[in-house]
């Protein structure tokens, strides 16, 4: 009898196939859930527009002049609120540029070396030409093992976005985005214009709220909208005023929310005011040099998000210093100086100090930064 050769059975599916599909489905569901707070704010905003414009202005107000003034002012606040909120949500967080990513050879060396001083030696070699001032609590180079990069100053890894975010402040669920270098100005304007929006509604709605409350006006469909509109505007005004005041304080001190809870650690010591250059310069770092752009939701922040002027008191022995810096320390040990050349985009903040004005310009010529941080965004792989 002739035996026929049996066909080989098909290979079994990979063991992790179903688990991987479940993980992918769970991530997609999580992404959808992250948009729930944004949809909630958007629905409140849409209802407030209908309640104020239709029920209050068009149907309740009888004075034509008051009606026109309220409608014009309301739409200005509404437009600025929506514009800044939109920019905060849809401005992509900036990630560290390619120079902070480890090369293939450095990655291999880091994987081969045991944890400890040998790994730190690899990271020190990779970071020797980078404008990095801060360290970990143990004094080591800040490194992200998920993104495989040396972390720039004020950069942190967001567990929600799973990326390293430049000058990360916090991950805000109300905008479903990380608030960092690329959109911090937009976030501040969003808080400011939302506060003004709520205060304007509460102020112009107050007299009609009192009239309905005291039965001074007949019961109509507008009664519910006008009374609830005042309660909502007053409630949001209280919460927004405290949050906006807190972030104004952060800007004045040149701090982020993360740096308040954990002060930046420099090579010489921990310094909670290490990045503060004074109120005026701190304000310019966020809003830029041109005041005409300060109140408009367009990107005008100074720098590239990877390097920041600091107020270092002691020189970092691992950083290459400029001759001007050495001369300044020989004259006065407590004189402030930059330990490494800064980027062109922010070095002019330090030109008010005479000892920096000549040395910083020469040292920066060899540094290449991002010319437009609003357009240059690296995606993590």
Catalytic: 178? no
Write down the residue that tokens 């944004």 correspond to: 38
pLDDT digits (tens, 9 = 90+) for 235-256: 999 999 999 999 999 999 999 9
Given this model, what pLDDT does residue 76 score? 97
Torsion of CA 379, 372, 304, 190, to 10 degrees: -90
Is the pLDDT assigned to residue 267 strictly greater than 90? Answer: no
How far is residue 240's CA from residue 65's CA, in Å, rounded to a whole number? 30
Tokens of 174: 């109300």
Q: What percent of the chain has pLDDT over 70?
A: 76
Of 57, 144, 155, 172, catalytic: 172
Tokens of 305: 């998000």
Q: What is the pTM of this model?
A: 0.79
Residue range 162-189: mean pLDDT, rounded? 96
Task: Count CB atoms within 10 A of the CB of residue 118.
Answer: 12
Given this model, what pLDDT does residue 117 score? 79
Given this model, what pLDDT does residue 339 score? 42
């Amino acid at each position: 009898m002739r035996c026929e050769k049996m066909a080989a059975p098909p290979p079994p599916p990979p063991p992790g196939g179903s688990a991987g599909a479940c993980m992918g489905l769970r991530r997609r569901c999580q992404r959808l859930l992250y948009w729930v707070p944004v949809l909630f704010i958007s629905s409140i905003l849409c209802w407030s527009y209908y309640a104020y414009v239709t029920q209050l202005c068009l149907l309740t107000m009888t004075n034509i002049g008051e009606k026109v003034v309220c409608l014009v002012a309301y739409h200005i606040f509404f437009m600025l609120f929506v514009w800044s909120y939109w920019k905060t949500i849809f401005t992509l967080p900036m990630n560290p540029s390619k120079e902070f990513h480890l090369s293939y050879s450095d990655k291999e060396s880091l994987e081969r070396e045991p944890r400890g001083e040998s790994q730190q030696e690899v990271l020190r070699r990779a970071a020797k030409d980078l404008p990095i001032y801060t360290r970990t609590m143990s004094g080591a180079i800040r490194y992200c093992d998920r993104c495989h990069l040396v972390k720039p100053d004020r950069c942190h890894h967001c567990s929600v976005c799973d990326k390293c975010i430049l000058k990360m402040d916090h991950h805000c669920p109300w905008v479903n985005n990380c608030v960092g270098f690329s959109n911090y100005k937009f976030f501040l304007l969003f808080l400011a214009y939302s506060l003004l929006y709520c205060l304007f509604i509460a102020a112009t709605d107050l007299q009609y709220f009192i009239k309905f409350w005291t039965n001074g006006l007949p019961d109509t469909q507008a009664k519910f909208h006008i009374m609830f509109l005042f309660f909502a505007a007053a409630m949001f005004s209280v919460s927004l005023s405290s949050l906006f005041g807190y972030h104004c304080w952060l800007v004045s001190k040149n701090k982020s929310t993360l740096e308040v809870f954990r002060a930046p650690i420099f090579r010489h010591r921990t310094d909670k005011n290490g990045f503060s250059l004074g109120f005026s310069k701190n304000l310019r770092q966020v809003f830029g040099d041109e005041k005409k752009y300060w109140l408009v939701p367009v990107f005008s922040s100074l720098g590239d998000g990877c390097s920041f002027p600091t107020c270092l008191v002691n020189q970092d022995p691992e950083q290459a210093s400029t001759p001007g810096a050495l001369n300044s320390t020989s004259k006065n040990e407590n004189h402030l100086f930059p330990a490494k050349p800064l980027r062109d985009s922010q070095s002019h903040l330090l030109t008010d100090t005479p000892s920096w004005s000549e040395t910083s310009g020469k040292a920066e010529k060899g540094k290449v930064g991002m010319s437009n941080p609003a357009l240059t965004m690296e995606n993590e792989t």
